Amino acid sequence: MKAAILYEIKQPLRVEDVELDPPGHGEVLVRVAAAGVCHSDYHFMNGDLPITLPCVLGHEGAGVVEEVGENVSAVKPGDHVVLLFRASCGRCAFCQRGTPALCAMGGQLRNSGFLLDGTSRLHRPGVVLHHFLGVSCFAERTVVPEQGVVKIKPEVPFEVAALVGCAVMTGIGAVTNTAKVEPGSSVLVIGAGGVGLNVVIGAQLAGANQIIVADLLDSKLELARTFGATHVINAREQDVVAGVRELTGGDGADYAFEVIGNPKTMATAFQAVRRGGTAVGVGIPPFGSEMTLHARQPVHRHTTLNGRLPTTPSHHTSHATLGAHTPGARSSPPDLAARRPHS
């Protein structure tokens, strides 16, 4: 099969023939039908985040189960599935508390470059290739743990389903699960990329009254309006904090979401919330980067700074839950900037 391999940091991916072993105990082989090109992949390619090389990239995908290993019960051949880059066991203390993003099993899968038994299913002659975040969907097929897939209805388009694995659940989950945005609230979203647009969708679903989106590109801001943004700020032309305060009667936003991963804009989100407001960091900052904040603000303004680890649905998630969070009702989802065949 063909797969896109990263051999060196800051170098292009190389599409090459790769050998894929059959699924082992508790594993699933999936034919990849669609894969999202998420900016997080570029963070690893660029060296912003640590990665074990060589590695087959891709963490946002969907496809069809072709083969299952021993003791797999959640799916069977022919099932349509979303691939989960934050797989979770469903049994540990973190999973039981409702914080599966902190699951140790999932952490092992993402950080080791191998599957749960400590080995890889991806090879080239004489070379072991590492798995990427437990997914590696920049390939025609992939092998993942049973916990790394969730079954979906066949009528959900694959290119839409792929987004559920990262952008949709990360963005909407930041609103509904992390911040718990209340109806009538004012919301600031910094960054109108794929995840940022899903924060906008989440804010709209939560009943936010004002949804303010800040970005550097007018084209992205106009797209954000189609998703439900009520106001936009071009950060090249206007100070974001001043603009938000003007729009909110001088108070600041009830909630602010930073969806870029830049320490400066993370600080901006914190400064843009009202007294007692909440800022949520959703974007992934470069490894080792630091953020500077006014130390008195959390104390005297009672503001909260929270983090949102991207959380994907567990393999126990129901069709109904996925349906509620999938922008599949759109005839042509604006989430999809472009479609490209992988062959």
Q: Which DSSP string do the residues of 240-307 spell out, in sequence order?
A: HHHHHHHHTTTS-EEEEEE-S--HHHHHHHHHHEEEEEEEEE-S-PPTT------THHHHHS--EEEE
Residue 91 phi, psi dihedral angles, 5° rounding: -120, -25
The pLDDT of residue 338: 53
* C-alpha atoms less than 13 angstroms from C-alpha of 102 in its C-beta half-sphere: 10
Catalytic residue among 38, 55, 89, 103: 38
Catalytic residue among 55, 89, 137, 166: 166
Catalytic residue among 40, 136, 185, 186: 40
- CA–chain centroid gap for 114, Å, is 20
* 80 to 29, 157, 215, 247: CA distances (angstroms): 12, 10, 35, 44
For residues 32 and 142, the answer to whether their CB atoms sit within 8 Å is yes
What is the spatial distance between Cα 33 and Cα 35, in angstroms, rounded to a whole number?
7
| Dihedral in degrees, nearest 10, Cα atoms 71, 77, 80, 81 | 30
Q: What angle do CA 240, 196, 305 make, to 5 degrees?
A: 65
The pLDDT of residue 332: 38
pLDDT in tens, the chain (343 residues): 999 999 999 999 999 999 999 999 999 999 999 998 888 888 899 898 889 999 999 999 999 999 999 999 999 999 999 999 888 888 899 989 888 888 999 889 889 999 999 999 999 999 999 999 999 999 999 999 999 999 999 999 999 899 888 888 889 989 998 899 999 999 999 999 999 999 999 999 999 999 999 999 999 999 999 999 999 999 999 999 999 999 999 999 999 999 998 999 999 999 999 999 999 999 888 888 888 877 767 766 777 888 766 555 555 444 444 554 444 333 334 544 455 565 5
What is the spatial distance between Cα 13 and Cα 15, in angstroms, rounded to a whole number?
7
332 three-state secondary structure: coil
The pLDDT of residue 53: 96
Cα dihedral sign, 293-299-303-308: positive
| Dihedral in degrees, nearest 10, Cα atoms 320, 324, 327, 331 | 70
The pLDDT of residue 318: 41
The pLDDT of residue 322: 53
Q: CB-based contacts of 204: which residues, under 8 Å, 6+ apart?
A: 211, 227, 228
For residues 85 and 136, the answer to whether their CB atoms sit within 8 Å is no
Neighbours of 263 (CB within 10 A): 18
Whether 166 is a known active-site residue: answer: yes
Whether 92 is a known active-site residue: answer: no
Whether 40 is a known active-site residue: answer: yes
- The reported pTM is 0.84
For residues 56 and 20, the answer to whether their CB atoms sit within 8 Å is no
What is the spatial distance between Cα 181 and Cα 177, in angstroms, rounded to a whole number?
9
Whether 185 is a known active-site residue: answer: no
Whether 103 is a known active-site residue: answer: no
14-17 β-sheet, strand order: 14-17, 2-6, 55-56
Q: What angle do CA 84, 259, 150 make, to 5 degrees?
A: 15
The pLDDT of residue 215: 97
Catalytic residue among 55, 59, 103, 315: 59
Q: CB-based contacts of 4: which residues, under 8 Å, 6+ apart?
A: 13, 14, 15, 56, 57, 58, 138, 139
The pLDDT of residue 172: 92
